[in-house]
Structure 1
Amino acid sequence: MSQPYRVILYHHTHWDREWWATMQDFRIRLVELIDELLDSLEADPEFRCFLLDGQTIVLKDYLEIRPENQERLLGHIRSNRIQCGPWYILPDEFLVSAEAHIRNLWLGEKMAEKLGFTNQDIGYIPDTFGHISQMPQILQGFGIDNALLWRGTGGPAETFKQEFLWQAPDGSRVLTYWFPDGYYVVDFLHFDNPLKTYEETYGRVRRSLERFAARATTSNLLMPYGGDHRLTDKRMPRLIKQMNEDLNDYAQFEFGTTKAFMDAVKAAGPKLEVRHGELRGFGEDLPHVLPGVLSARLYLKQLNFHGQASLEKYAEPFSALAWRAGKRYESSLLWTSWELLIQNHPHDSICGCSIDQVHREMLPRFDQSKQIAEIVTEKSVQHLNARIDTSGLADGEEAVVVHNPLAWTRTDTACVWFLRSRGIHPRTYVLRDEEGREVPFQAEDAEGRVPMTDQWFYTNVRFTAQEVPPLGYRTYRLAVREKPQDDKMTYWNAIMPSAKFKGSERTTDLLIGAGVLENRFLKVEAQPDGSLKVTDKASGRVYEGLNVFEDGGDAGDTYNYAYPLNDMVLRSDRSARAHVSVVDSGYASATLRIDLDWELPRAITGDRLNRSADYVPFRVATYVTLASESKRIDVRTEWDNTVQDHRLRALFPLGSPAAVSHAESHFDVVERPVAIAETGHGWPETFVPQKPQQGFVSVNAVGKGLTVANKGLPEFEVLDDGHTTVALTLLRAVGWLSREDTLVRQGGAGPQSPTPDAQCPGRHAVEYSLIPHEGDWLEAKAYEQAYEYMTPFYGSVTGRHEGEKAWKEGFLSLEGDHTLLLSTCKKAERSDALVLRFWNTAKKETSARVRLTERPEEVRLVNLKEEPAPEGELELMDDGSFLLQAGGAQVITVQILFPKQAAAAGDIRQKGGE
């Protein structure tokens, strides 16, 4: 070394908004911290700066208590003595959606705009439990070309350097810094303690620097000073001077920022290794990933799924369509809903690894967010319905409007609720399409809250809606029959021979038999052991042993699943008694109920080494639904969790060995090996075969494929058992926030606090869907079936009125053999433009011709921050369509201006130019 290292020391706190204490408990500590910080900055000009974590919600939480200090606080942020952002909250990356990450960064931006400062452009994600593959592309979409992280990667100092280039599947790269010792560094804490020796003070700092230097690619070193909920250290200017006097032969310290460090590394221009995609590694030298958070308190993940879907798939796109039809776009309401939801996305919140009270307080936020989204959706749909010309309805007829939030024409089951007092039944009512053809339907009692009503009891009318246009709707008419049908008639079709009016007349392709459901695509048979046998009629391939349940002990905590030393794993097909019944029958869909009477060990033993010998009843009820014209089998499983310390999974064997699985992640479908290369014996955290997913996981071999979609069940494992069995986690019940006596992790991950709510007692219901297909998920476009399952039609009712819209219309179509998925449809944040975002599900280039019902005047590519992209404006064809091209795994965002908006935008640009 020809000259001393330049050490940029940044003083910081990492602020978990809620974790081992409640949000209000931590907020009081936060107020004390910022009060002290402001005093320190004003008392000592040499107390250069402080990183108030990478999130802006700390400003909101502080200023609600100390509004009188707003200008003091903002003055220091504007002068770069306090850094914060760019996030609104520091999220878990795997457990929330890609669009939630984008909205999170947008909320951080909006907070900065509201308060009048600029966020730091640093990709600060120091403590998330692993990192998604597309985070570099998301950061670059907000103009952030760097990342600072810790968990999920690492290695020996000889081969793993602290600076590298992290590349997303689309090729986007960010300069990345890996914290060799983590972000929690308190080496200076004991400097003024007379009981500490030189080796415990200066020596400790030097040893840290030597570890950093062994991994450095330049002469610049970054040293964090701070940790979780730590206050400021007013001694820092003096301590830095002392360090510079003592260690001047090795290093020169300066009080600085993470931004200054990253700029210094860039300026040095080192040759850096490129690391690709998902960072979720386990190894001898790697920090804990804590993967059990994928399945801790799964009820939170389910609530989050429905909250995200309510916003992304319904409230935002329907609001955008209603806005194009003349309605006010309720931006503030939508952002309020997003804010409530994202306040549940910090890594200690959505992960389920906090004290019980924290997670109880999350439930109202989920509820309130979804309430807003549902009301905004319903109001938008009512506005759209009012534009349809239903003046041709006869007296007493109603228009039933089915809305499709997806970007392709689809046929699927539609559901519409009517007041039960109406007495709607296929014997007395008739449903017809716009051409007057009768559409078979079925009716059942339903109960629940409907937005903007005070009613509770309803009739759910269910039917197969054919060929509903993309981002569009199809209208049907419901009327009282002139003459009721024979009251002896049954409204379903039987597989076995049946008498007249008793299921004999073939009405749809759906047939029902003894433990059997069948349509023109699939045959589903309930087996005596409670499992399912599915035949794909197009290929003739058979899938057996589906939906068997496996239950094993769990001696872990909310951070890590851990098997007891002497585990006892039970399977329902070997130890439960099955009973099969038909509980729903009709022309649109039919459902089998499979009841399993099972017994499971009550808990683990006091020494946590075994499952107890005390068995208790455990009944599992599975509802298996097949719909007319459907290529998937929808499953709902319910149980009362009467036992503790266990993990319940559903098993889906492909039936042939496969090398890899494919699971939807964030703007990506990630391929992972099935086989386990190394178990991690002796590592700080053993290798974990359970993997994260968003909407689906898929396996295939010798042309036979199986995709399992889910609603809020983010953990799966593919068993290397010769059958390629997908194991979907339905429940993980544990009683401790963290423990230090598990077999799978060295040390604790948090306080050793009991968390009885994490045992998840009481009623549970989970939902998933089975999609058999030929070839792999991409060849079969199984992702479309998965999205249709996760995004049902939106059924609604309107009356007779004039309007300018036809009975069937779509807003958007994508033409061509493409692999694009629509991710968002919304109004632009800073203009009267429409924003559409797509992502390429494939790793190779694709293109589609985009055609809108409303002719655009200008189409421009923008980044995720909705700023003009370098590629600029897209060419419009004579018919108003435009070509959208995307590289492999690329996210494409377009901003569309329509004639009046384009003229206004042109005026603005012209004035700006003048």
Structure 2
Amino acid sequence: MQRIGAAAMLDGTEKEAVRAPYRVFVYHHTHWDREWWATYQDFRIRLVELIDELLNALDEDPDFRCFLLDGQTIVLDDYLAIRPENRDKLTGYIRDNRIQCGPWYILPDEFLVSGEAHIRNLWLGIKTAEKYGVVNQDVGYIPDTFGHISQMPQLLNGFGIDNALVWRGLGGPEETFKQEFAWEAPNGSRVLAYWFPDGYYVVDFLHFDNPNKTYDETYGRVRRSLERWAKRATTDCLLMPYGGDHRLIDRRLGRLIRQVNEDLKGFAELRWSTTKEFVAALRERNPQLETIAGELRGAGADLPHLLPGVLSARMYLKRLNFRGQLWLERYAEPMSAIAWRKGRKYDASLLWHAWELLVQNHPHDSICGCSIDQVHREMMPRFDQSAQIAEIVTEKAAQHLNSLLDTSALHEGEEAIVVHNPLPWSRTDVATVRLEPKKGVHPRTHRLLDDEGNEVPFQVAPVEGRMAMTDKWFHTEVRFVASGVPGLGYAAYRLAEREKPLDPKLVPYAAVQTTAKLKGSEPQTDLHVGRNVLENRYLRVEASLTDGTLTVVDKTTGETYGGLNAFESSGDAGDTYNYAFPLNDNVLRTDTDRNAVVTVQAAVAGHASATLAVTIDWALPVGLTADRLSRSAERTVVRLVSRVTLAAESRRVDIATEWDNAIRDHRLRALFPLGRDARASRAEGHFDVVERPAGAPGDWGAERGAEGDGESFFGNGWPEPSIGQMPQQGYVTVSAEDRGLTVANKGLPEFELLRDGRGTIAVTLLRAVGWLSREDTLVRVGGAGPETPTPEAQCPGVQRAEYAIVPHAGDGLEARVFERVHDYLTPLYGTVTGKHDGTLPMRGGMLALEGDHTLLMSACKKAERSDALIVRLWNVAKAETAATVRLGEAPSSVRYVDLKEEPVEPYGGTASIAGDGSFVVRAGPAEIVTLEIRF
């Protein structure tokens, strides 16, 4: 968040601000959390009753002007599933502008879901409105999300929305902070933004009909609110929300407005309005606005609660959401698009149903993990069903493409292993595929050949688990390094029996130590493994036999990184909304705690990849003391097993840590020191790489707090102190003195860059708490919800966290670390096919980005309203970039479109197609670019 000074008037002119009498735009609304301190069905019954009463009021009282259904369209589905007979009446009032809804499908948490998920959320809002024949309000209504992402202005602009109504994450003293401002995204996109000075929950008319209430409790409350807002106003227009969480309608509103106006003569006049009318009135007044750039996550004495602990509450939800988004964005949609271009039907309805199920888990009280246990139990089937659809759609698309390959050169009984790459660049990475175990495949008896006949080393292992479109549970996993798999393409390998089995004495790995002939002495790849060492041509990884930490040597730079993957456990006396240290905390670390016992063994040894199992038996306090001021003296042993994997030809170290969590009221983090003092982190966000200072950010415009070791807090005495934990999507990177370290993650959205002089990245793996909200925490004034026990938020049972270490030179951009990270996040997809004729070669690609560019792809899908291909890219850098796009088939036209897939004019509106069918795509700093490609 950056305040970058005053801007010109909205139209660039100068104008004297108009003051009193103030025009007060009163909008009647409800804030509808679909599930929170009660279940979805509980709240839906209340919703049905609310809309029943609303429709009756609209029928009976022509002066009951309008009502806002909280900026989301899912309430229409939820209501009409119970009252289908009221469809015409409900949609009629929406068309008459007496009921407003949208533009969202659900009101999301902004930081915990992907950027592409936000786009699909807004698309689902459009689709729901179209289904009912209504038009959504074009107001960026996001009144209660726990902070705001930097690119929200660009996302809103992409849907034709030029305004936003926000609350958490910003504010300031009346003298210096105004309600209206220009909010600017990193690419320069802007919206006219309004900040709710007292929140969206204003019910000043509650006691007006009570004769026992004094003037000060009725008219006086309204006047005091307006006087406070007037000090912050840039025009004579004020916005008064009338409603709140699950609030019902108030049939008295018209009469009460008239009563209040009698009292406020000469100072203000209230009018029953809509948020859209308020925004239009602001624009008409053309105020001079301060520009605020970037994400809104501020803290301070005058700011509302940000509730940042939701980044790590119920981490299992975050991991499941990562899985769901990954399957849809990286596999199901792009592979369906490729298969569609090769003759298969593109089943948009099925894909949208999977998105609908997933997005229903994205409201801030759902994905944030701050609801009652039953709510989160009911989220699990939605996650599972969405992922099931995506997995099956992916497999069907892959099988269709496989069926088109010419595998006629296979011998009878042989199979082709086909590796699909859903990313738009050529990759060399580990590939896996599961076969039926009865086939008896083994490197001694079989060989794997690429499309040029070269033998590719592979390894096998028995695995268990469900796979899409099969009833088999037991499988043989084949693992190998697939080289140069084309962008959005595939490479097929022939799996054939050897004429003569290999010597059974031959060990199927290369050892670090000196060994006898055939006993690990004959490397087939660059990978070697030892008792506590993994090594290839790029990296050397050694696990300490003393404390279990990793030392990684980057052979390309000569830099050594030590003390990686230590674990830290601290007490947590907070709740699902806020991490809070107990007064007498006992912070323990595996690299310093003598109660931690370490063993290391080579768990997997092969030519494709090898794994060390680092086991730590750690005695930890079982929970908090009864007064919640300290961690318990009673301890229990927790076993953490980190499986540390290095693959041949790889520049990263993959880690999967598992443990059975029997510890309550604590936070578990993994630590990764850069080894140099780092002043800032750069974390992948939503179509943006966000730079943030180390430690806890200070008050807006105030000096930073004192430096110190470990975690830092700022804002003693504030309603909610600022903390150092920050959001991330795929990765966070730090650098100093041309030395860089990136930690990628699969569904671990919280990190902190410690101010410890070592540039340590702390990634939260788990936060276990037992309360929805508590008022006795040290880090927040008041509750954030009802004080309800949530024992399942302690996250008992087996937990798994996956992350990767990527050392590199510099700040990561020149090392193209973003590509390495997404290689890790998006494994190659392996499938099997048999012998058959076909029209496709054994290796081919659909779309590749070429050149020295900084573009990532976020979507590849069929267009919503035409037979065109949609490709969405975003620029990870804050400088202009360009890439050559090379397709597997020549396009007839390429044009730039917005997020609604409607034509826009940047870069001339179209891309020129070269004779070979390639074209150049351009993007400004941090710009999202969507292409419509016709064939």
Q: What amino acid is the match of 1:897?
A: R
Is residue 627 of structure 2 the alignment partner of residue 607 of structure 1?
yes
Where does residue 538 of structure 1 map in the other structure? Answer: 556
In the TM superposition, 1:366-765 aligns within 5 A as 366-527=383-544, 528-575=546-593, 576-676=596-696, 677-678=704-705, 679-765=714-800
Is residue 173 of structure 2 the alignment partner of residue 156 of structure 1?
yes
Residue pair 2:731, 2:821 contacting (<8 A) in 1 also: yes
Mapped to 1, the partners of 2:482 and 2:250 lie a distance apart of 65
Q: What amino acid is the match of 1:837?
A: R
Residue pair 2:68, 2:101 contacting (<8 A) in 1 also: yes
Task: Give the CA RMSD over aligned residues.
Answer: 0.8
Where does residue 368 of structure 2 map in the other structure? Answer: 351
Q: What amino acid is the match of 1:132?
A: I
Where does residue 168 of structure 1 map in the other structure? Answer: 185
In the TM superposition, 1:75-94 aligns within 5 A as 75-94=92-111
Q: TM-score, normalization: structure 2?
A: 0.96
Mapped to 1, the partners of 2:789 and 2:582 lie a distance apart of 18
Q: 1:825 is matched with which residue: 860, 870, 877?
A: 860
Mapped to 1, the partners of 2:416 and 2:20 lie a distance apart of 80
Is residue 77 of structure 2 the alignment partner of residue 60 of structure 1?
yes
By how many angstroms is 1:2 displaced? 6.4
Where does residue 884 of structure 1 map in the other structure? Answer: 921
Where does residue 902 of structure 1 map in the other structure? Answer: none
By how many angstroms is 1:644 displaced? 0.4
Mapped to 2, the partners of 1:623 and 1:513 lie a distance apart of 14
Mapped to 2, the partners of 1:479 and 1:645 lie a distance apart of 54
Where does residue 701 of structure 2 map in the other structure? Answer: none
By how many angstroms is 1:514 displaced? 2.0
Mapped to 1, the partners of 2:489 and 2:32 lie a distance apart of 44
Q: Which moved more, 1:172-181 or 1:421-430?
A: 421-430
Q: What amino acid is the match of 1:884?
A: V
Q: What amino acid is the match of 1:40?
A: A
In the TM superposition, 1:35-434 aligns within 5 A as 35-434=52-451
Mapped to 2, the partners of 1:625 and 1:408 lie a distance apart of 23
Q: What SS class does the counterpart of residue 568 from structure 1 fall into?
A: coil
Where does residue 905 of structure 1 map in the other structure? Answer: none
By how many angstroms is 1:586 displaced? 0.3
Mapped to 2, the partners of 1:451 and 1:148 lie a distance apart of 43
Mapped to 1, the partners of 2:600 and 2:409 lie a distance apart of 47
Q: 1:780 is matched with which residue: 804, 810, 815?
A: 815
Q: What amino acid is the match of 1:580?
A: V
CA deviation string 1:292-313 (max 9, x = no partner): 0000000000000000000000
Residue pair 2:773, 2:787 contacting (<8 A) in 1 also: yes
By how many angstroms is 1:3 displaced? 4.4
Mapped to 2, the partners of 1:358 and 1:675 lie a distance apart of 34
Mapped to 2, the partners of 1:41 and 1:250 lie a distance apart of 31
CA deviation string 1:512-560 (max 9, x = no partner): 1120000000000011211001100111100000000000000000000
Residue pair 2:695, 2:752 contacting (<8 A) in 1 also: no
By how many angstroms is 1:879 displaced? 2.2
Q: What SS class does the counterpart of residue 335 from structure 1 fall into?
A: helix
CA deviation string 1:260-319 (max 9, x = no partner): 000000011011010000000010100000000000000000000000000000000000
Q: Which moved more, 1:799-808 or 1:274-283?
A: 799-808
By how many angstroms is 1:675 displaced? 4.3
Residue pair 2:19, 2:236 contacting (<8 A) in 1 also: no
By how many angstroms is 1:6 displaced? 0.7
Q: What SS class does the counterpart of residue 513 from structure 2 fall into?
A: coil
By how many angstroms is 1:562 displaced? 0.1
Where does residue 895 of structure 1 map in the other structure? Answer: 932
Q: Residue 765 and residue 3 in structure 1: after superposition, are their counterparts in 2 closer, same or farther (change >3 A)? A: closer
Q: What amino acid is the match of 1:602?
A: V
Q: Which runs of 4+ in 1 moved over 3 A?
A: none
Q: What SS class does the counterpart of residue 190 from structure 1 fall into?
A: coil
Q: What amino acid is the match of 1:348?
A: D
Mapped to 1, the partners of 2:623 and 2:513 lie a distance apart of 46
By how many angstroms is 1:245 displaced? 1.4
Mapped to 2, the partners of 1:421 and 1:845 lie a distance apart of 54
Q: What SS class does the counterpart of residue 323 from structure 2 fall into?
A: helix
Q: What SS class does the counterpart of residue 93 from structure 2 fall into?
A: helix
Q: What amino acid is the match of 1:875?
A: S
Q: TM-score, normalization: structure 1?
A: 0.98
Residue pair 1:388, 1:804 contacting (<8 A) in 2 also: yes
Q: What amino acid is the match of 2:931?
A: V
Residue pair 2:695, 2:723 contacting (<8 A) in 1 also: no
Mapped to 1, the partners of 2:133 and 2:508 lie a distance apart of 64
Q: What amino acid is the match of 2:794?
A: Q
Q: What amino acid is the match of 1:333?
A: L
Mapped to 1, the partners of 2:404 and 2:861 lie a distance apart of 20
By how many angstroms is 1:874 displaced? 2.1
Mapped to 2, the partners of 1:3 and 1:610 lie a distance apart of 55
Mapped to 1, the partners of 2:300 and 2:50 lie a distance apart of 36
> Quick one: percent identity of the two aligned structures?
67
By how many angstroms is 1:801 displaced? 1.2
Mapped to 2, the partners of 1:487 and 1:801 lie a distance apart of 34
By how many angstroms is 1:870 displaced? 2.3
Residue pair 1:396, 1:480 contacting (<8 A) in 2 also: no
Where does residue 767 of structure 1 map in the other structure? Answer: 802
Residue pair 1:840, 1:891 contacting (<8 A) in 2 also: yes
Q: What amino acid is the match of 2:288?
A: K
Mapped to 2, the partners of 1:776 and 1:893 lie a distance apart of 27
Residue pair 1:589, 1:627 contacting (<8 A) in 2 also: yes
Where does residue 837 of structure 1 map in the other structure? Answer: 872
Q: What SS class does the counterpart of residue 148 from structure 2 fall into?
A: coil
By how many angstroms is 1:246 displaced? 1.5
CA deviation string 1:431-454 (max 9, x = no partner): 111111111000001111111111
Mapped to 1, the partners of 2:333 and 2:820 lie a distance apart of 22
CA deviation string 1:743-785 (max 9, x = no partner): 0001100000000000000101110000000111111111111
Mapped to 2, the partners of 1:761 and 1:505 lie a distance apart of 46
Q: 1:9 is matched with which residue: 7, 20, 26?
A: 26
Q: What SS class does the counterpart of residue 574 from structure 1 fall into?
A: coil
By how many angstroms is 1:730 displaced? 0.5
Q: What amino acid is the match of 1:156?
A: P
